[in-house]
């Protein structure tokens, strides 16, 4: 796989914070203007935990990379290109669901999809279809961290403060900025 494919995904990733901030600003403006849907969405976002927000952002990172890789794979393999696009769309939908829906269904979907992504990538590498590269490895590491965040965030702990791992993830890992 040529390096240009992956360079495009890194460039696309540079736009992710701009898109996220634009969406959050639009949501805030809508909520301040009294738009009921924006007020509900803003409330759901604010009420989400820091581990859920971090997991959603991690899924957004993976989705951005997969969506950026889809066009460059079209010339090589249509099936793989469509799989990249579908994966990016599904990850985006799950990330949004994580922030807005208080049901555990997104946990199962996130872990299943991200696990399938990791297994598929390494399966393609072993089969010789893909080459092991820095972007692929970094993306899989992000996906593994997101799986960990989802699993830690979905467990129920005894006590008011939760378990030590949950504390580590929600406080130390992000410096309390998203709390």
Name residue, tokens 């208080």. 102
Question: Which phi and psi (to 5°) does residue 155 adopt?
Answer: -85, 150
- The per-residue DSSP string of 81-136 comes to HHHHHHHHHHHHHHHHHHHH--STHHHHHHHHHHHHHHHHHHHHHHHTSS---HHH
CA 58 – CA 103 distance, rounded (Å): 19
- Residue 166, pLDDT score: 54
| 179 residues of the chain, pLDDT tens digit each | 444 567 888 888 899 999 999 999 999 999 999 999 999 889 988 888 889 999 999 999 999 999 999 988 888 888 989 999 999 999 999 999 998 887 778 999 999 999 999 999 999 999 998 889 889 999 999 999 999 999 987 654 444 444 545 555 555 455 544 44
- Residue 6, pLDDT score: 78
pTM of full prediction above 0.85:
no
CB 20 within 8 A of CB 60: yes
- Residue 89, pLDDT score: 97
């Amino acid at each position: 796989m040529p390096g240009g494919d992956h360079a495009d995904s890194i460039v696309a990733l540079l736009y992710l914070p701009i898109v996220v901030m634009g969406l959050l600003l639009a949501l805030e403006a809508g909520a301040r203007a009294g738009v009921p849907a924006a007020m509900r969405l803003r409330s759901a976002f604010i009420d989400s935990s820091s581990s859920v927000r971090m997991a959603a952002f991690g899924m957004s990172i993976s989705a951005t990379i997969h969506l950026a890789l889809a066009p460059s794979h079209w010339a090589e393999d249509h099936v793989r290109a469509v799989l990249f696009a579908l994966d990016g769309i599904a990850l985006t939908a799950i990330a949004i669901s994580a922030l807005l829906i208080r049901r555990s269904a997104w946990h199962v979907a996130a872990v299943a999809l991200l696990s399938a992504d990791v297994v598929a990538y390494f399966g393609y590498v072993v089969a010789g279809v893909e080459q092991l590269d820095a972007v692929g490895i970094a993306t899989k590491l992000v996906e593994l961290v997101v799986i960990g965040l989802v699993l830690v965030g979905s467990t129920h702990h005894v006590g008011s403060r939760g378990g030590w791992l949950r504390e580590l993830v929600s406080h130390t890992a992000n410096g309390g900025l998203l709390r």
